[in-house]
Chain A
Amino acid sequence: MNRPGNRRLRALIVDDEELARRLVREFLAPHEDIEIVGECENGLDAVKQIGELAPDLVFLDIQMPRLTGLEVLELTGRRSGVIFTTAYDEHAIKAFELHAVDYLLKPFSRARFDDALARARTLHVPVAPGVEALVARRGEPIERILIRDREQVHVIAVETVECIEAQGDYLAVLADGRTYLKPQRISEMEEQLDPKSFLRVHRSFIINLAFLQGIDRQGTERHFARLRSGKRVPISRSGYDRLRKMV
C-alpha cells in the first residue's frame, strides 16, 4: 500500500469543538487515501502536534482559544497543506480573499469540502503563496508576541514588552523581567508593532515608549534611553531624532 507517490495522506484536525471535528472526520471517511493521525482542541496543542506528526494536511479552525489558527501557522512555520475552516470572522475572511487562500465556511456541504480537499491535494507543496502573506499580517499592529521555546509556547502581551534587541538571527524580547528569544528579523518585528507605542531607536533596538524613563547623555554625541527596569539602551543619531519627535 505504501508505494511511493501513492502513499496515504496523513491529516490533522484542529478545532476546539468536538462536533466540528467529528464532522470533518465524517466527511473524510469516504476518502480512503487519507488517514487521520490526530485531533487537537486548541492552538497550543496544534503547534505541538504539527511539529511532532508533520501531517500532510491540516484542517485548521481560525477562531480558537489560546492561539488562533494564523498564530499556529506563525509558530510552526507551516505554510502548505492547510485547509482553513471558520464560521465567521470578518478579518480572516477579508485576508483569505485578499491573498486568494481557499477556506471552508461553516457549515459547509460535503461537495464544498471535497472540492477544497481536491485543491489542497493537487497544490501540495507549496500551497498558495498567499498563506505567507496571510501569516505575516502586515497592516494591523499585533497585540501579542508568540514565542516558541522547545515544548512551550509563550504568549506575551505587547504592552508588557519593555524592549526588543536584535542578537544575531534572534530577537531578545524583554518582558516582565524575563528575556525570550524569537527567531525573527528586527525590521519585520518593527513593522508588526504599533508605531505609536514602539520605536526603533537603534539598528538593534526597539523600545516601548511606555517604559521610557529618561534620556541620558554621554559626551556630546551619544545618547542612551533609560527604561523602567533600569536597562540602558543605546540610541543612534537618527533614532534620537525620531525619539525627539515622539516625546
Chain B
Amino acid sequence: MHPLLADVRKLTWYVLAWMLVAAGIAGLLRLAGDAGWAGALAFAMPICLVYAFVVLSSYYICRSLPVAQRRWTKVAAVFGGASLLSALGWLGLGTAWNALGRLGPRAAPLVDMTPAGWILFFSAGFVLYMLALLAHDVLVAFESMQVAVRREAESRVLAREAELQMLRTQINPHFLFNSLNSISALTSFDAGAAREMTVDLAQFFRRTLALADRERVTLEEETELCRHFLAIEQRRFGAKLRAELRIAPEAAACLLPPMTLQPLLENAIKHGIRGLDDGGTIAVDAAARDGWLRVAVVNPVAGEPVPARERGVGLANIRERLAALYGKRARIEWRRTATQFEIEITLPAEKESAP
C-alpha cells in the first residue's frame, strides 16, 4: 500500500494541500472570468479530490522501475505516457463534472471554459502528475537506499555470527576445560610440563583466532595448529595417542579453509583412540598431485556403535564450508570398517599467488 494511505495524519495534510491547489485553480478560473466563486469552487474541489488519489498511483510506477537498472529513454517514455494518460482522465473528468452542472440549480455548466482554458486545464493535470512521479521517484530511491544499507549491515552481522559460530564449535569447551584440568593436575608434580601445556594451549587458541577470520590458509599453517593440538592431547591421553603426519612439501603450500584438518583429528581421538584400551596411531597423509590436494586421515576404532548425534555434526560442518567455497570441486568421503575410520578430503590444489 502507498505509505500515505497508511498514515491518517499525513493523508489529512496531503488532502488539505490538494484543497489549496483546488482553491488556486478556482482563483485562476475566477480571474479569467470563466466563473463565479461558487461555480469555480464547485468545479475544482471534487475534481482535485479525486485526482489527489489518482496521482498516488505514480508510487507504483516508480517502484516498478528499479533505480539500478534504468535507461533514460524508457523512464522518459513511461513517465510521459503515464502523465499523458492521467491528464486525459483528468480532462475527461473535468468536462463531465462541468457538464453535470446543467442538472444543478443554475441549469448551466459550472464554469464557462474556453478551448484555451481546457488546454491549460489539461496541461495542469499533466504537470501535476509529472511532479508526483518525480517526487515519488526520489522517495522510492531513498527507501531502496535505506533497505540496501540495512541489508548490508544485516549480512555483515550474519557473516560475523557464522564466524563466531565456527569458533565456538571449533574451540570445543570440553577440550578446553579438560586441558585446564590436566594442567591443574600437573602443577603439583611436574611444573615444567604444566607450563609447556599452558603454552601449547595458548598457542593453539592464538592460532585458531588468527586463522579463523581468514578465508583460506596454507596446509602448513593448519598443520602447525594441529601440532599444538596434538601436543595437548598427548599430555591428556599419554602413550595411548600416537600421530604420524606425512605432509608432502608440495602439499604444504596448498590452500584450504582454516580448521579443516583439526576437527578431523579431534574426531579421530574422540571416536577412535579414546575408546581403545591400548590407544592407537592417527595417520595423516597429504599430497598434491595432478592439480588436486588430497588430505587423508586414518585412525583405528573400537567396535561399539557411536551415538549418531555425536558423529555427524563436525563432518557436516566441514562439508558445508567446503561446498560454500568450492562448490562441486571439493569432495569429502569417509568410510568406517570394523577396525578403522578413514576420511579423505580432495580440493583443487591452489597456492597463494606470488606477491
Contact = CB atoms under 8 A, between A and B. Distances in A.
A195 to B, nearest CB: 17
Interface string B176-198: 11101111111011000000000
Given A26-B188, A66-B275, A143-B309, A19 B181 contact: yes
Contacts of B174: 63, 87-89
Contacts of A17: 178, 181-182, 236-237
A17 B197 CA distance: 15
A157 B186 contact: no
A22 B276 CA distance: 20
A42 interface: yes
B275 A20 contact: no
A82 B176 CA distance: 25
Contact of B181 (A23, A64, A66, A89): A23
B302 interface: yes
If over half of A's interface residues share one DSSP class (helix, strand or loop), that class is named, otherwise mixed; here it is loop
Nearest to B269: A65
Contacts of B177: 87-88, 105-107
A19 B182 contact: yes
Contact of A20 (B176, B182, B308): B182
Contacts of B188: 26
B277 A144 contact: no
A18 interface: yes
A156 to B, nearest CB: 8
A16 interface: yes
B238 interface: yes
A155 interface: yes
B305 interface: yes
B275 A65 contact: yes
Contacts of A20: 178, 181-182, 185
A143 B310 CA distance: 11
B307 interface: yes
B207 interface: no
A144 B309 CA distance: 12
Interface in A37-78: 41-42, 63-66
B236 A144 contact: no
Contact of B184 (A107, A155, A156, A160): A107
B279 to A, nearest CB: 11
Contacts of B181: 17, 19-20, 23, 87, 106-108
B185 A19 contact: yes
Contacts of A18: 237-238
Interface residues of B, number: 28
A88 B168 CA distance: 13
B230 to A, nearest CB: 16
Contacts of A41: 277
A68 to B, nearest CB: 9
A26 B187 CA distance: 11
Interface string B299-325: 000101101110000000000000000
A160 B303 CA distance: 14
B173 interface: yes
B309 to A, nearest CB: 7
Contacts of B173: 87-88
A18 B277 CA distance: 13
Given A23-B185, A87-B174, A65 B302 contact: yes
Interface in A76-92: 87-89
Nearest to B180: A107
Contacts of A143: 305, 307-309
A19 B183 CA distance: 8
A158 to B, nearest CB: 9
Given A20-B178, A107-B180, A157 B185 contact: no
Contacts of A89: 174
Contact of A87 (B178, B235, B276, B302): B178
30 contacts: A16-B274, A17-B178, A17-B236, A17-B237, A18-B237, A18-B238, A19-B181, A19-B182, A19-B185, A19-B235, A22-B189, A23-B181, A23-B184, A41-B277, A42-B275, A42-B277, A65-B274, A65-B275, A66-B275, A66-B302, A87-B173, A88-B178, A89-B174, A105-B177, A106-B177, A106-B180, A107-B183, A108-B181, A143-B307, A144-B307
> Closest 3 A-B residue pairs measured CB to CB?
A157-B305, A65-B275, A23-B185
Given A17-B237, A89-B174, 15 more contacts: A19-B185, A19-B235, A20-B182, A20-B185, A22-B185, A42-B277, A65-B302, A66-B304, A106-B177, A106-B181, A107-B180, A107-B181, A107-B183, A144-B305, A160-B305
